[in-house]
Amino acid sequence: MIRDFNKKKWLNSGAIGMPSNDGEIDTTFLTISKRIIKINRLEYDINAAYQAMQATSLIQGYHNTLKTGYWPSQDTLPVSMRV
């Protein structure tokens, strides 16, 4: 996300490999070039990542995020970011 805060920019590229809690299943990353900030989407093999998470018992809810695009931890987010 990109937010203005006290006349400055707050940049958060998110968690690497996790969707942005916006219903889209791809992940995002930021690029900054000559004061131009851009959020880029990155498609990847979601099924392979999902299976790898299951195979290593990383099944605390975020494995489903790969297929839904929404985080299981909505209660920890500011109200404006919850879905």
Alpha carbons 34 and 46: distance in angstroms, whole number: 33
Per-residue tokens: 52: 């790898």
Dihedral class, residue 20 (left if φ above 0, else alpha if ψ from -120 to 50, else beta):
alpha
pTM for the model stands at: 0.70
pLDDT at 1 over 80: no
pLDDT at 52: 94
pLDDT band at 10 (very low <50, low <70, confident <90, very high): confident
- Mean pLDDT in residue range 34-57: 91
Q: Is the pLDDT of residue 68 over 90?
A: yes
- What distance in Å separates the CA atoms of residue 30 and residue 46, rounded to the nearest whole number? 20
Would you give the distance in Å from CA 76 to the centre of its chain? 15
Q: Check residue 56 and report its DSSP letter.
A: T
